[in-house]
């Protein structure tokens, strides 16, 4: 009997110790404010603009800077399309994302994204423009000439590659889905330009940032890929984090971006020629929401 009681006591002690250990582990992973404010890994989403491997390579200095500044590992995440990045944020697979203005507006609606920084280009502006590009041999000189032709947008959630061009067409009295011979989505800005270059489509939407970069990299030439129309300035592409991240972590992330140009110019890589990051505010993207309304787009129903 005494031996049996001892066994029960030992078993109970082991059980209590086990509970304490489990509670400590769970508390460390899920309940500790310190762990939440200083996560082991931060995942950062990149919208597709070119080859995935090339994008990760270009963002490597940015990621290394953030790791050093934040004291935590930073992992890049590149989706196959814009909606993949938004869904990753919604499901909390990523914490931060580089977004376009329209994809940001969608991410606010679907993933509680919160803009905190916007890149300023080497011309001193954070704005950019949507452009319509055609091949020099197409015979297309203006938007009206696009009727009956094959056209490529970039992605349904792209600002300069879909939303703004559609607004431009509407203003010109053109309905792409009715007036064009065919409409496709190239999947990325580079792909849209290359589709024009290789005459897979008669024309495509793009932006002046990608166009300029591809000219510099000699991937296209201005004599072949000809701009026939451009938009008014568009609010700059923001960097956003999940709004549910701890306030002190969000401050660390924001400060890291706003100080980047002072501490590591090499980290200002990635999308276009950025000279610094300025603070971004959600209200700056209300014009994008207004364009969506003009086009009768229901943000809640968009993928």
pLDDT at 219 over 90: yes
Residues 187-204 have a mean pLDDT of 97
pLDDT digits (tens, 9 = 90+) for 129-185: 999 999 999 999 999 999 999 999 999 999 999 999 999 999 999 999 999 999 999
pLDDT score recorded for residue 48:
75
Residues 208-218 have a mean pLDDT of 94
What is the reported pTM? 0.81
Place of tokens 């909606």: 83
Domain boundaries defined on the chain: 2-31, 41-124+237-301, 130-230
pLDDT digits (tens, 9 = 90+) for 257-297: 999 999 999 999 877 689 999 999 999 999 999 999 999 98
In whole angstroms, give the CA distance from residue 171 to residue 258. 37
pLDDT score recorded for residue 16:
39
In whole angstroms, give the CA distance from residue 257 to residue 49. 21
Q: Which of 61, 145, 162, 44 is nearest to 103 (CA)?
A: 162
pLDDT score recorded for residue 14:
40
pLDDT at 18 over 50: no
221-to-47, 112, 295 alpha-carbon distances in Å: 25, 40, 33
Is 211 in contact with 225 (CB distance < 8 Å)?
yes
pLDDT band at 37 (very low <50, low <70, confident <90, very high): low
Domain 130-230 has CATH 3.40.190.10: yes
pLDDT score recorded for residue 12:
42
In whole angstroms, give the CA distance from residue 234 to residue 225. 22
pLDDT band at 5 (very low <50, low <70, confident <90, very high): very low
Q: What does the angle CA 185 – CA 167 – CA 50 come to, to the nearest 5 degrees?
A: 35
Residues 240-252 have a mean pLDDT of 97
Phi-psi domain of 173 (left: phi exceeds 0; alpha: psi -120 through 50; beta: other): left
Which CATH architecture group holds 41-124+237-301? 3-Layer(aba) Sandwich (3.40)
pLDDT digits (tens, 9 = 90+) for 40-94: 899 999 987 667 788 888 899 999 999 999 999 999 999 888 999 999 999 999 9
Instruction: Indicate the SS3 state at residue 277.
Output: strand
pLDDT score recorded for residue 86:
96
Q: Which of 56, 77, 74, 54 is nearest to 64 (CA)?
A: 74
- Terminal Cα-to-Cα distance of the chain (whole angstroms): 68
Tokens coding 125: 């502006």
Domains 41-124+237-301 and 130-230 share a fold: yes
Question: Poorest-confidence range of 3-17, 38-52, 202-216?
Answer: 3-17
pLDDT score recorded for residue 301:
72
In whole angstroms, give the CA distance from residue 90 to residue 88. 5
Q: Which of 58, 96, 49, 48 is nearest to 75 (CA)?
A: 96
pLDDT at 236 over 50: yes
SS3 content of the chain, % helix, strand, coil (to 5): 50, 20, 30
Place of tokens 């800077």: 65
Strands 203-207, 150-153: parallel, antiparallel or unpaired by DSSP? parallel
pLDDT score recorded for residue 287:
95
């Amino acid at each position: 009997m005494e031996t049996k009681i001892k066994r029960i006591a030992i078993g109970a002690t082991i059980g209590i110790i086990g509970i304490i250990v489990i509670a400590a582990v769970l508390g460390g992973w899920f309940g500790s404010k310190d762990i939440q404010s200083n996560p082991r890994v931060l995942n950062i989403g990149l919208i597709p603009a070119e080859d995935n491997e090339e994008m990760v390579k270009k963002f490597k200095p940015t990621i290394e800077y953030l790791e050093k500044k934040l004291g935590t590992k930073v992992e890049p995440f590149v989706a196959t399309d814009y909606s993949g990045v938004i869904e990753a944020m919604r499901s909390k697979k990523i914490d931060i994302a580089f977004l376009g203005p329209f994809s940001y507006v969608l991410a606010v609606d679907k993933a509680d994204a919160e803009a905190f920084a916007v890149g300023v280009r080497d011309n001193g502006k954070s704005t950019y423009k949507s452009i319509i590009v055609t091949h020099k041999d197409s015979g297309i000189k203006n938007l009206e000439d696009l009727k009956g032709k094959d056209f490529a947008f970039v992605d349904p959630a792209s600002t300069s590659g879909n939303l703004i061009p559609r607004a431009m067409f509407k203003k010109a009295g053109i309905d792409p889905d009715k007036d064009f011979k065919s409409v496709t989505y190239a999947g990325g800005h580079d792909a849209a330009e290359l589709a024009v270059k290789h005459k897979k489509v008669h024309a495509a939407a793009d932006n002046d940032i990608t166009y300029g970069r591809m000219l510099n990299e000699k991937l296209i030439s201005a004599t072949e890929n000809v701009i026939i129309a451009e938009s008014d300035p568009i609010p700059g592409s923001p960097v956003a984090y999940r709004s549910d991240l701890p306030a002190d972590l969000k401050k660390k992330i924001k400060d890291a971006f706003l100080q980047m140009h002072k501490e590591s110019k090499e980290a200002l890589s990635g999308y276009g020629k950025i000279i610094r990051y300025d603070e971004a505010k959600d209200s700056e993207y209300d014009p994008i929401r207004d364009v969506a309304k003009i086009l009768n787009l229901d943000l809640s129903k968009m993928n």
